[in-house]
Structure 1
């Protein structure tokens, strides 16, 4: 069960906006109506979402959703100037780079009810790493209660995509067109050189647990390859399998940090791989990491989720590497990312927001078409099971039906240990443990530094000393 601190959520959204503090009274906060529930959730749908608007304002951090709207939302027209059109409604895209997205969105949502109707945010996108901050706020609309999408319409979506978007009060605050289970992608040519085969079944047998993964890493090293490009890319494979949340009880007066043993295992694994020369030192998204995925790269494989194949590997592999890839489950079930669509309190395009959600996240035929054309793994259980059992093949993966593997991995995703501090504490932990992995300090020093920096980032947190072996 996820426990979240609503005060933490609201303050996270509004703290940087103190310069506009006078507007906070326009937004709902817990207890404003004297009932202990948010004003938004106690108001009628008419009070928070209306119709008749002439402009649909959408906030996001890249063009992926715009592309999905262009290709898979019936009636959407791209005007070619950063705007679009649906019938008589103009669609305005506000695309803010990822690092600046949350502050820009926070300010827009904070002021939404004070702006003219056509200037208000109507719909915005959220990532898994920070979705809880908005789910537990009064700036997101209840998909069922406020927008009127029925439970039966949502029944075919993977449960974890709904769990993470559900507030403490049990309100679904966002829907996703994709599910993002992770697999291990590997170079076929390198697997043949190291293992004598590129057969995904045989490779999976070799990599089915971390002992086997270590063995293959050693074999790859002897052939002149790295098993992995860098330490951080393995983090989610461990953090997705923790047995406790980062913070014991975020709703308490003095919430306490707890470090799960899986996170220590991650650091020790990366330390061992670094000392043995089994891993590179590239950060994700850097030139070195991208190069390692090219035909000239010397890395056995990468942990990639659904979108990692079509958005990352395909581009980095290039023409020479096209067809030289395959995927297997790897040593553990995990996931990475995902994008959720949320309706904004104050929208004057309620029915259009609802229709977009329905067409892109509830329409099985439309979503299966999307998967077939983009290789994206869409959020329809029955649709993906149909593709998994079909003769669907990926040319990039040399004829492999990776949808079958994803459909087996997706039900294993567990969001029960997700909490509001995950994004920030993950970053601090990776940075401080990186010094231990890289040999700049011992493990105990790295843990101590993590705890000290964690409470600097989140002063409301506390901790007991942690001794590691």
Structure 2
């Protein structure tokens, strides 16, 4: 999750190899072959003893003191954490290798939204719906889209759980909004961002009033997550490529944004993109960034420490989410009882309340998020005392987690890189579409492309 998530530069061929070799034949659920689960004996947390090997693509279990918090309750379970970054697909490659060989697989491993669908639809993740886990009881209290993303498509069992929901909006600089748009009120700014047409019109207004010194967005590509969040169809349905109408609207709007000169051409995760959060880069300021819940504490606050209080959160033209981290247990782990204590801990009300207060994450548990949304606990100092939890809670009901496919990691990357050729004028719209379809066919010969 966090800034490791959705790095734009992915190794395409490597992604293809992973999907083609590791996951072939692993799509069936475990329901027809699984053995009866060993019953667990409930104990005092201090009585659980042993070691769990864990792999993750994010270091938050250490940097955000998650493991320390766990060990306050379970002092005799040692967590051996291995962090493998997502850069150059290193995490997916290494994890896929050990899963395929069955040697050196960690007891617990995380997955992100780009690849969670791959793992929950194989036997690599343990079925947590069955006894003695009974994870569906936990799921009753959690955001629906988060639970859906952790389910096996065939038997509907829960294979992975997450402690966080990650709805997103547009974080904007209050001082720039006040100076050039006449208001920094989140509700008023949300009206200006309520549709692509109004968003683009606001960008033109901003450009004109600032003499071109303030751009609406760092890059047109900020809208990608908004577009994917507003779709009715995933990339692949019944083994056929589907390009949702909302994605084609995004294509047209991306071209309008670039042609109108209202994006700063700072690529996401680049040095200028990060630096622009703190102030002007080469004389150009940026008003707004499309980021989810973790964007403020882990991206903006990291890159722009001195801008505390100068941020607001507006709703985007469509509800969306971005990122997230799911925890699952390896199906052949010999430490399933200890591993379940670990996974269960992060899906407890106590941990998620602490995490929201301490780290600024947004809880997947509806009771916890509602508590913050309706009290001063949800007010955020970095966002000018705005109750961010209330805005997030308004967004979540419109989010669906059922559109993610095992192909997304590759197709998202190719769509964006191919689209850039059209937006920059190197290809026509028709040539862009032809290129994308050809890339899909090359990557996944099993998908029907028309």
In the superposition, the TM-score normalised over structure 2's length comes to 0.87
Q: Distance in 2 between matches of 1:151 and 1:208?
A: 36
Q: Distance in 1 between matches of 2:353 and 2:311?
A: 23
Q: Distance in 2 between matches of 1:75 and 1:52?
A: 13
Matching residue of 2:290: 303
Unaligned runs of 5+ in 1: 1-8, 18-23, 32-36, 77-85, 251-255, 465-469
Matching residue of 2:79: 91
Larger radius of gyration between Structure 1 and Structure 2: 1
1:237–1:228 CA distance, 2 compared to 1 (3 A): same
Which residue of the other structure, out of 159, 163, 170, is the alignment partner of 1:184?
Answer: 170
1:402–1:58 CA distance, 2 compared to 1 (3 A): same
Matching residue of 1:162: 147
Residues 225-257 of structure 1: CA distance to partner in whole angstroms, max 9, x if unpaired? 11000122210101121122222312xxxxx22
Shift of 1:428: 1.0
Residues 94-146 of structure 1: CA distance to partner in whole angstroms, max 9, x if unpaired? 2112121011111222333xx5xxx5411000001111110111110011216
Matching residue of 2:305: 318
Q: Distance in 1 between matches of 2:395 and 2:170?
A: 12
Matched, 1:65 2:52: no
Matching residue of 1:339: 325
Q: Distance in 2 between matches of 1:87 and 1:391?
A: 33
Matching residue of 1:442: 428
Shift of 1:208: 1.6
The answer to whether the Cα contact below 8 Å between 1:56 and 1:349 also exists between their aligned partners in 2 is yes
**3-state SS of 1:42 partner:** coil
Q: How does 1:115-264 map to 2 (within 5 A)?
A: 115=103, 120-145=105-130, 147-167=132-152, 168-222=154-208, 223=210, 224-250=213-239, 256-264=240-248
Matching residue of 2:314: 328
Which residue of the other structure, out of 370, 380, 387, is the alignment partner of 1:385?
Answer: 370
Residues 153-211 of structure 1: CA distance to partner in whole angstroms, max 9, x if unpaired? 33111111111111121110000010000111000011011211111122112222222
The list of structure 1 runs, each at least 4 consecutive aligned residues, that deviate by more than 3 angstroms after superposition, is 11-14, 28-31, 37-41, 51-54, 86-90
Matched, 1:105 2:89: no
Q: Distance in 2 between matches of 1:164 and 1:204?
A: 28
Unaligned runs of 5+ in 2: 1-14, 40-46
Q: Distance in 2 between matches of 1:206 and 1:452?
A: 38
The answer to whether the Cα contact below 8 Å between 1:197 and 1:203 also exists between their aligned partners in 2 is yes
In the superposition, the TM-score normalised over structure 1's length comes to 0.83
1:334–1:281 CA distance, 2 compared to 1 (3 A): same
Q: Distance in 2 between matches of 1:282 and 1:328?
A: 21
Q: How does 1:271-286 map to 2 (within 5 A)?
A: 271-286=255-270
How many residues in Structure 1 have an aligned counterpart in Structure 2? 418
